[in-house]
Amino acid sequence: MDLSTEELDGGVTSIVLVGRLDIAGAGAIDLRFSALTGSRKAVVVDLAQVSFLASMGIRTLVTGAKAVRGHGGKMVLLSPEENVEKALKTAGIDALIPIHHDRAAAIAAVMG
Amino acid sequence: MTDPTSDAFAAAPAIRLRRDLGELVRLADWAGALARRQPQRLAFALDLCLEEAVSNIVKYGVRAAGDPPEIVVTLLEHDEGVALRIEDEGEAFDPTRAAAPTLPATIEDAAVGGLGVFLMRKFATQIRYERIGRRNRLTLGFAPR
């Protein structure tokens, strides 16, 4: 699992995850993800290249969203693959962390 | 469950795992190679259920000294999909009877974690638990749909 970031206009941070967000993947990114979500106010998590997601990965995403919300910010998820989106929706995560499939809409949502 | 017989499982590929979360990588590679001809949706469900079921056994299936330390996973492809059998000799645990989590309404309320068994039950087409002597046997069925 790889994590990279891109700082966008308007103070938006895009966090791009690549690979399997399983137990090993979540363990590989947890520290950096929590450092980022603990300090940024507008976060778009790009899931387009995440091929797998299970409960430990969902834990990572929810923990991050709570951290962003905790200091008054907003976090959304961008473009999960079909099966990954099904896991998110089955867990009810879409009601907690908005899911967008359009990058511009995702960026607008966290800037608002 | 459209029941693959015990004989069919006896002849199916199996992997023996140590009680260690590090084994999950080897497990996912093994299952992914075996299920490579299956539809992507089925392969994803299989992958998810394996991770949730085996990580639960590693984390919570406390065992007595002298119990075999292994978890044995058998994967059977058949005409109507794929069946998985996961066996260990830890504490009895029936995931089919575990209470469904209350899904939180807000991020602030979200209890982190506790979703694994719930997801497994939603992604498997069929699920059956048996306690056979000191052994837990979880059988999961996946239809191609």
Rounded Cα distance between B140 and B53, Å, is: 10
**A58-107 per-position pLDDT tens digit:** 999 999 999 999 999 999 999 999 999 999 999 999 999 999 999 999 99
| Selection from A108, A4, A110, A96 nearest residue A48 by Cα | A4
pLDDT band at B7 (very low <50, low <70, confident <90, very high): confident
**Of A104, A94, A39, A106, the residue nearest A61 (C-alpha):** A94
The CATH H-level superfamily of B6-142 is Histidine kinase-like ATPase, C-terminal domain (3.30.565.10)
Name the closest residue on chain A to residue B28, using Cα atoms. A22
Per-residue pLDDT at B6 exceeds 90:
no
CB B94 within 8 A of CB B129: yes
Q: Given an 8 Å threshold on Cβ–Cβ distance, is B41 in contact with A55?
A: no
**ipTM metric:** 0.93
- Please give the residue range of the domain that contains residue A98: 2-111
CA distance linking residue B1 with residue B126, whole number of Å: 6
Q: Do B112 and A59 touch (CB under 8 A)?
A: yes
Between chains, do B107 and A23 touch, taking CB under 8 Å as contact? no
Domain count, chain A: 1
Give the closest-approach CA distance of A1 to chain B in angstroms: 12
SS3 A32: helix
CATH of the domain at A39: 3.30.750.24
**In whole angstroms, what is the distance from residue B87 CA to residue B21 CA?**
16
Q: Among residues of chain B, what percentage have pLDDT more than 90? A: 57
